[in-house]
């Protein structure tokens, strides 16, 4: 570009001014050997050399050591001279040693006679673009590795017509197709015949394009023809101009979750039905019990009237009334049978075995957000329980714990042996001895003390309307207490809840038969003294009349505490006749135990409108008998006679 001195034209001057004004490009000339002979401000800005430092130097100093080692500068000039141009990109070196990415064009300059007189070299700094490209490439590679590393989701793309354009390992694992088998095929082949008949694939793409997203769940088909339940999301992909260029499709196999949800819904439905029936059973049982009290009064008054009736007409009327009372008694027995629907059938079981056998149902009940842990020591004692009822109670506790953790958490089931001393046993209203502890501990919201006091009440619930019946823990409570155990709760707001079921440990060795000796022996001639404990005045009056007619001296009490005081003060009492269901905390069974501790030789007869199988009578031993309401004076006499024969 240097003109011969004294011959620079006005056009050349303007061109030199243009070159000197350019700062975004390095524009300079080389002689035929590659030595710099001109230098513009752009070259100074890019490379860091002022004109006085670089004129006369070889241009190879701008190249990296690696490029000089391969003689790239020489080859670049040769290429430009031979082919009329050399163009390339590569790293170049500034004066301070730093590198920049350059776009380089070298053009040969020839005289009018074709003689090579030098080279024009234009360099542009593209470092920022290069770094952006590399960052984009690195990001794309990371994304590609991410997608290729995902195996739990099928992630792939479709063209605008719905043909598969790429395929990740997750898609191959879930759908069964290798990439070579499926790329280029239409994605509708994953749909069922029913969905293709309704053109669901087409409608899904149209929805995604129109609304920006399509999401749904449904059956999809694998390569082998089997079906799986899928969660599907389709997103449209658009270029910078907003043109649709394809779709991103993500599919997840949630077959197991759906099966778990269906099993849980079925379990909840069955549980809800069982709870409704239990509520009805409690109501009918209570009605039957009260009705039995009324029938006891009616039947025994009729019996007493029969003993004194002489007029045939009176006898006939009494007998008619007795038959009606008997029909009423049968009705109450039917109601009681309904209230107990499925009587407990206890058998010896290892609780760990029961829990392990029921583990799959418990895990499904927990759901995906809850982690279930089991801690089941090998030397846990056996218990005598009804296995299905035990499983139902455990499921109730798991469902309650799960509902207390709407955002997820953990549940731990623990078993272990427990020995209750007198104080601990008294606190649990149990006799001292060996027990098995089955605990369910959660990390949920916990409960305040006032709620803990009421959780076992039927129909009490802290859940929203429609979310619970309030019978779950009542059912657990009924099962545990009917099995001779106790249940307690340890809960703190914000720190979770621990529910502990204590069940009597199964003793090793010979089983107690529980049978009374049926050998008949003559009854005593003298009737003796009876203590009648009954809170219903009318029933107490009838019972007193019956015992009086049988030759007994009668002492009465209206509750267990009063009866204990009578037994302590009156040593003449040799028969205790008590109702099982009584007010003020202590029932007839508990009274019997206390009475036998005070008077081991005391004969005890218990009466209730509930069947004996439903009452906690374990441990009462010989000398204790039971009579169902409504009882007749003849039945009462037979029971007393049988008690007398027991040594």
Mean pLDDT of 455-480: 61
How sure is the predictor about 520, in pLDDT bands with cuts at 50, 70 and 90?
Answer: very low
Residues of the chain with CATH 3.30.565.10: 347-504
Q: pTM for the complete prediction? A: 0.34
Burial class (CB in 10 A: 0-12, 13-18, 19+), 51: middle
Mean pLDDT of 478-506: 86
Q: How far apart are CA 530 and CA 509, in angstroms?
A: 38
Highest mean pLDDT range out of 123-132, 194-203, 352-361? 194-203
**What mean pLDDT value characterizes the chain?**
80
How sure is the predictor about 294, in pLDDT bands with cuts at 50, 70 and 90?
Answer: confident
How sure is the predictor about 142, in pLDDT bands with cuts at 50, 70 and 90?
Answer: low
Residues of the chain with CATH 3.30.450.20: 10-127, 150-253
- Structural class in CATH, domain 529-645: alpha beta
Bridge partners (DSSP) of residue 487 are: 501
Question: Residue 55: its pLDDT value, please?
Answer: 94
Report whether pLDDT(50) > 60.
yes
Highest mean pLDDT range out of 296-300, 379-383, 554-558? 379-383
Question: Residue 208: its pLDDT value, please?
Answer: 92
Domain 10-127 has CATH 3.30.450.20: yes
Q: Are 259 and 314 in contact (CB under 8 A)?
A: no
Mean pLDDT of 423-431: 78
Domain 259-339 has CATH 1.10.287: yes
Question: Residue 502: its pLDDT value, please?
Answer: 92
Sign of CA pseudo-dihedral 324, 325, 328, 329: negative
Mean pLDDT of 38-57: 89
Residues of the chain with CATH 3.40.50.2300: 529-645
Domain 347-504: CATH architecture, name and number where available: 2-Layer Sandwich (3.30)
Residues of the chain with CATH 1.10.287: 259-339
Question: Residue 512: its pLDDT value, please?
Answer: 34
How sure is the predictor about 13, in pLDDT bands with cuts at 50, 70 and 90?
Answer: low
Q: Is pLDDT larger for residue 584 or for residue 128? A: 128
Query: Over the stretch 235-261, which tens digit does the pLDDT of each residue have?
Result: 998 988 889 988 988 888 888 888 888
Question: 150-253 in CATH: which number?
Answer: 3.30.450.20
Query: Over the stretch 225-234, which tens digit does the pLDDT of each residue have?
Result: 999 999 999 9
Q: How far apart are CA 257 and CA 260, in angstroms?
A: 5
CA-wise closest residue to 615 among 641, 592, 634, 636: 592
Question: Residue 445: its pLDDT value, please?
Answer: 87
Region of residue 367 (left: phi > 0; alpha: psi -120 to 50; beta: else):
left
């Amino acid at each position: 570009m240097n003109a011969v001195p004294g011959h620079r034209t006005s056009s050349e001057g303007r061109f030199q001014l243009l070159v000197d004004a350019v700062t975004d490009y390095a524009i300079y000339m080389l002689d035929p050997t590659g030595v710099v002979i001109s230098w513009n401000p752009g070259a100074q800005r890019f490379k860091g050399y002022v004109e006085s430092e670089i004129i006369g130097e070889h241009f190879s100093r701008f190249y990296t050591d690696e490029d000089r080692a391969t003689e790239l500068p020489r080859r670049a000039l040769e290429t430009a001279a031979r082919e009329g141009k050399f163009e390339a990109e590569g790293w170049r070196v500034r004066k301070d040693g730093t590198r920049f990415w350059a776009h380089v064009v070298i053009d040969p300059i020839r005289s009018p006679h074709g003689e090579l007189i030098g080279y024009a070299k234009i360099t542009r700094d593209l470092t920022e673009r290069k770094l952006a490209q590399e960052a984009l490439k690195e990001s794309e590679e990371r994304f590609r590795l991410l997608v290729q590393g995902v195996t739990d989701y099928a992630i792939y793309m479709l063209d605008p017509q719905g043909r598969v354009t790429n395929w990740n390992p997750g898609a191959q694992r879930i759908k069964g197709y290798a990439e070579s088998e499926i790329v280029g095929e239409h994605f509708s082949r994953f749909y069922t015949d029913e969905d293709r008949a309704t053109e669901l694939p087409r409608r899904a793409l149209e929805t995604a394009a129109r609304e920006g997203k399509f999401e749904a769940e449904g059956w999809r088909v694998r390569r082998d023809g089997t079906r799986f339940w899928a969660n599907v999301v389709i997103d449209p992909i658009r270029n910078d101009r907003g043109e649709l260029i394809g779709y991103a499709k993500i599919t997840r196999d949630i077959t197991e979750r759906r099966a778990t949800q269906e099993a849980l819904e079925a379990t909840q439905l069955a549980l809800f039905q069982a709870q409704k029936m239990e509520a009805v059973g409690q109501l009918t049982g209570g009605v039957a019990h009260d009705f039995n009290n009324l029938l006891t009064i009616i039947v025994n008054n009729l019996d007493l009237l029969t003993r004194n009736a002489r007029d045939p007409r009176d006898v006939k009327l009494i007998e008619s009334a007795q038959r009606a009372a008997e029909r009423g008694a049968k009705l109450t027995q039917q109601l009681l049978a309904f209230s107990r629907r499925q009587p407990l059938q206890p058998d010896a079981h290892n609780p760990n075995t029961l829990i392990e056998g029921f583990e799959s149902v418990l895990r499904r009940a927990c759901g995906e957000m809850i982690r279930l842990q089991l801690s089941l020591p090998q030397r846990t004692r056996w218990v005598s329980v009804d296995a299905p009822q035990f499983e139902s109670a455990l499921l109730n506790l798991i469902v309650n714990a799960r509902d207390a953790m709407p955002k997820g958490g953990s549940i731990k089931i623990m078993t272990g042996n427990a020995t209750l001393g007198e104080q601990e046993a008294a606190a649990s209203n149990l006799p001292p001895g060996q027990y098995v502890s089955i605990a369910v501990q959660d990390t949920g919201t916990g409960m305040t003390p006032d709620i803990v006091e009421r959780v076992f009440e039927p129909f009490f619930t802290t859940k929203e309307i429609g979310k619970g019946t309030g019978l779950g823990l009542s059912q657990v409570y009924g099962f545990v207490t009917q099995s001779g155990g106790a249940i307690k709760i340890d809960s703190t707001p914000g720190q979770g809840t621990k529910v502990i079921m204590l069940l009597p440990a199964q003793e090793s060795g010979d089983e107690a038969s529980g049978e009374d000796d049926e050998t008949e022996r003559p009854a005593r001639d003298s009737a003796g003294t009876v203590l009648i404990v009954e809170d219903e005045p009318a029933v107490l009056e009838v019972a007193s009349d019956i015992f009086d007619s049988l030759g007994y001296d009668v002492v009465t009490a209206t509750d267990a505490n009063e009866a204990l005081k009578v037994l302590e003060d009156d040593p003449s009492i040799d028969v205790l006749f008590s109702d099982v269901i009584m007010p003020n905390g202590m029932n007839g069974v508990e009274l019997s135990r206390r009475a036998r501790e005070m008077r081991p030789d005391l004969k005890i007869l218990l009466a209730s409108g509930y069947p004996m199988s439903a009452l906690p009578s374990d441990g009462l031993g010989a000398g204790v008998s039971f009579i169902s309401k409504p009882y007749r004076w003849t039945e009462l006499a037979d029971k007393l006679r049988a008690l007398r024969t027991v040594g």
